[in-house]
Amino acid sequence: MKYRQLGRTALSVSELCLGTMNFGPRTSERDSFEILNRSVEAGINFVDTANQYGGDLGVGTTEKILGRWLAEDKSRREHIVLATKAHEPMSDDINDHGLSARHIQMACDASLKRLGVEHIDLYQMHHIDRSAPIEEIWQAMDRLINQGKITYVGSSNFPGWAIARANEKAIARQRLGLISEQSVYNLIERRVELEVLPACREYGLGLIPWSPLAGGLLAGGEGVATGRRHSAEMQKVVGERRKQLDQFDHLCGELGEAPSSIALSWLLHQPGVAATIIGPGSAAHLTSVLQVPDIRLDLPTLNQLDEIFPPCGEAPEAYAW
């Protein structure tokens, strides 16, 4: 496994971040434990979750599974960078969502209890809350840091302007500010290149892409034929992008690598990316991507990928003169 610093911090995280959204609703607790164990054995030290994960089993389920795994061996906590998120509704209570100072405090305390830990390494705002003043958010985050409950603050699904505003306010308060942004980013969905990635690079945030395989579209021909990817909507998209996906599969065949591996590796070749999330549903899925950090794509290959999946450019510079 290879490691990178998370944004401008001195914290080292594995280039593959274990996403846990499947734990509970799609992956049994036993299988989740096996994935966690094998991940740690492979050198993955970055584990990401969210307080709302749990699907039909109920919000908080995934954090509880992680908590029971951590409780099996207390030393595990010492070796992983633990990340979770807050924002989404946790109940029908009108104040049990968003980024009010009250909800941030209560959501953090609840996550700590479910996880069975004393602190969270990376506490992320799951979505932007346009009703919450940034001063209120930083007041709440500063309190959690002072209480020793969180170490770093990150954002998720934020636009570039919100990243800039949040960090300018943090600078004015003489605080570290946001150190990471978790966004949807893959060869098909490249809009973060317009403003989010430039903002991350300017303010020293590490980008953590989610949905690196575009819901299975980049997993290869077989990858979109089963499971949740076999929906009518997904098959429609496959049909619309058939030529593009065939070109991608052909290039991957020439490289001798699985399409999913190339899609993940491409992300790790993008400036500003700290780690890419993988969300294996089984130990076999995990094993199939562990070699990704060792794949090196040369410039001609990267150019070919840009030809198949054209970049968006960078909005701040595209029209500046």
- The reported pLDDT for the residue numbered 317 is 66
Separation CA 212–CA 277 (nearest Å): 7
Which residue numbers are catalytic? Answer: 53
Separation CA 223–CA 298 (nearest Å): 25
| Coil/strand/helix, residue 277 | strand
Percent of the chain predicted with pLDDT > 90: 90
> Closest by alpha carbon to 59, among 107, 105, 7, 123?
107
> Would you tell me how many other CB atoms lie within 10 Å of the CB of residue 136?
16
Cβ-proximal residues to 128 (8 Å cutoff; 6+ apart), any chain = 155, 157, 158, 159, 162
What is the per-residue pLDDT across 89-132, written as a single tens digit (0 to 9) for each? 999 999 999 999 999 999 999 999 999 999 999 999 999 999 99
Higher pLDDT, 300 or 222: 300
Q: Of how many residues is the chain composed?
A: 321
The tokens of 236 are what?
A: 């429609």
pLDDT band at 228 (very low <50, low <70, confident <90, very high): low
Please report the domains of the chain, with CATH numbers, ordered by start residue: 3-318 (3.20.20.100)
At residue 182, φ and ψ (nearest 5 deg) are -105, 115
pTM of the model: 0.93
What is the per-residue pLDDT across 137-181, written as a single tens digit (0 to 9) for each? 999 999 999 999 999 999 999 999 999 999 999 999 999 999 999
DSSP 82-102: EEEEE-S--SS-TTSSSS-HH
Pairing mode, if any, of strands 3-5 and 12-14?
antiparallel
